[in-house]
Amino acid sequence: MEERGLDGAIVSGPARGNPTLAYLLGGAAVSQGIVVKKRGEPPFFVHSPIEREEAAATGMRLVNMSEYGYIDILRAKGNRLDADVELYRRILDGLDVRGEVGFYGVADQGKAYLFLQALDRALPDVHVRGEYEQGLFDIARATKDEAEVALIREAGRKTAAVINGTVAFMRRHRVVDETLVTDDGSPLTVGRVKQEILRLLAERGMEDPEGVIFAIGREGGVPHNKGGANTPIRLGQTIVYDLYPRGADGYFFDCTRTFCLGYAPPEVQQVYQDVADCVDAVVAAIKVGVEARALQRLTCEFFEARGHPTIASDPKTERGYVHSVSHGLGLAVHEEPRFSDVPSNTQTLQPGHVFTVEPGLYYPDRGYGIRIEDVVWIDEQGEVHNLTPLPRELVVEMGA
C-alpha cells in the first residue's frame, strides 16, 4: 500500500463472485461484508449481525454492522445513496481511516460511480481512489502460498478424477452406426454427459459455476461453444472437454482434454500432435523473470511454423490459433498474471504464479477443434510444476 500511496483500502460487496473479498475473508461462509484495511494494520471485517458466527470464524477483527444503525440512517436520510454515504462516513470515522483510500470489490458499475463520487465529495478527509490495472489485491492474489497451491492441487486431483469418470461413463455405452446409445436405444447426448459430469463433481464436493465446455466436432471448432445439449456423441469426432470447477474452499482448477472415441482421422491426429508439442514448448519456456507476453508470442510463432494461421498474423482469423495461451488461476478462473502480447504488459513470471497453458487449433470449416490445457505452478525456488495429474491421449477405445 505504501508503494501505491494508499492509506487505506475498502473491499466490499457480495462474498460470491467477488474473489478479492473472498481472498481477504479466507473463504468464510458469509453472504457479504466490508473489509477495511489500514496501512500496516490487520484488517477489520464489518459484517452482518445475522452472520456474526461465520464472521467470528475468520479470526479477523470484527465490527458488527448493527453498530451503525443503518435502518435509522435510511429513515433519516430518506434515500439509499445518502444513507450509504453516511454509513461509510461512520465506518471510516469509527475506524479512523483517512487520506488516500482505495475501493475494491464488485458492485453495479453505475452505482459505484454515483456512490464513490458522492463519498469523495462528502468526506473532506478522504480521497477516493481506484486502481485500473494490477491493483493491490490483484498482485497479492497472483502469488500463491503453499496452502493455496495445496488447495489448487487438490482441486486438480478431483478434476482429473471427474474427467476420467466421464470417459469411463462414455466407454460403457453401446455403439450403433458410430453413435453411442443409451439402454433405451436413444443416442447418448451432450446434455446427458453434462448431467453425469455434475454428478461426478458433486460426489467430490465441487461446483461448476461457470459451466463446463463439452463440444463435439464442428461445435468444438469454436473455442467457447459449450456444446449443444441435444448433440449426439459419435465416434471419430473431436470432443473438446474443458472443465473449470471450483473446490469447496473457493479455488478453481482448469483443465482441457480433447478426445476422439474409437478412432481419430489422420488429419486430427496430426493437428493434435501440433497442439501437444506446443504445450511442451510453452512449459519448457516458463522461467522466473520471463515476460508473460513472451508465452503468447512463442505460441503464435510455434503454430505459424507448423503452417497454421494465428491471430498474430491475422487478428480477425477464426481458423487456427485464435485465443490467449494462458491465464492466472485461483479464486477466479481468470486472474493475474495476464499474458496479452502488448507492450504495456510488463508482467514477468514470478515464484508463486499458478496459470494455465492451453494452446489450441480450431478448424470449424473442417468440423473440428483441439485444445489441451494444463495448470502449472512456479515454486519458491523457481522450479516449474505441472499440477495436472492426467495423461494426454487423443483416442479413447470403447468398451468398459
**What residues numbered 246-285 form the site for a second copy, per CB under 8 A?**
none
Residue 16 CB, shortest distance to a second copy, in Å, is: 6
Judged by CB, which is closer to a second copy: 238, or 378? 238
Query: Could you give phi then psi for residue 385, rounded to 5 degrees?
Result: -115, 135
Judged by CB, which is closer to a second copy: 244, or 302? 244
Alpha-carbon span 339 to 172, nearest angstrom: 40
Residue 146 neighbours by CB distance under 10 Å: 10
Residue 240 CB, shortest distance to a second copy, in Å, is: 12
Residue 285 CB, shortest distance to a second copy, in Å, is: 21
User: Alpha carbon of 82 to those of 40, 74, 79, 106, 180: distances in Å?
Assistant: 31, 8, 6, 20, 61
Provide the residue count of the chain.
Answer: 400
Question: Sign of the CA dihedral 97, 101, 106, 112?
Answer: positive
Name the residue type at position 283: V
Binding flags for a second copy, 180-219, as an x/- string (CB under 8 A): ---------------x--xx-xxx-x-xxxxx-------x
Alpha-carbon span 202 to 198, nearest angstrom: 6
Window 302 to 331, contacts with a second copy (CB under 8 A):
311, 315-316, 318, 322-323
Residue 372 CB, shortest distance to a second copy, in Å, is: 16
Q: Which of 1, 62, 128, 384 binds a second copy (CB under 8 A)?
A: 128
Window 105 to 124, contacts with a second copy (CB under 8 A):
105-117
Binding flags for a second copy, 224-243, as an x/- string (CB under 8 A): xxx-----------------
Judged by CB, which is closer to a second copy: 243, or 378? 243
Window 29 to 48, contacts with a second copy (CB under 8 A):
29-31, 48
Window 65 to 104, contacts with a second copy (CB under 8 A):
66, 69, 71-72, 74-75, 77-81, 102-104
Alpha-carbon span 31 to 13, nearest angstrom: 9
CB 392 within 8 A of CB 272: no
Query: How many residues bind to a second copy according to rule CB under 8 A?
Result: 80
Window 134 to 173, contacts with a second copy (CB under 8 A):
135
Judged by CB, which is closer to a second copy: 12, or 388? 12
Per CB under 8 A, does 3 bind a second copy?
no
User: Alpha carbon of 26 to those of 29, 30, 55, 352: distances in Å?
Assistant: 9, 11, 11, 18
Q: State which H helix or E strand residue 257 sits in.
A: strand 255-261
Cell triple for 17: 463472485
Closest among 35, 34, 30, 2 to 16, alpha carbons compared:
30
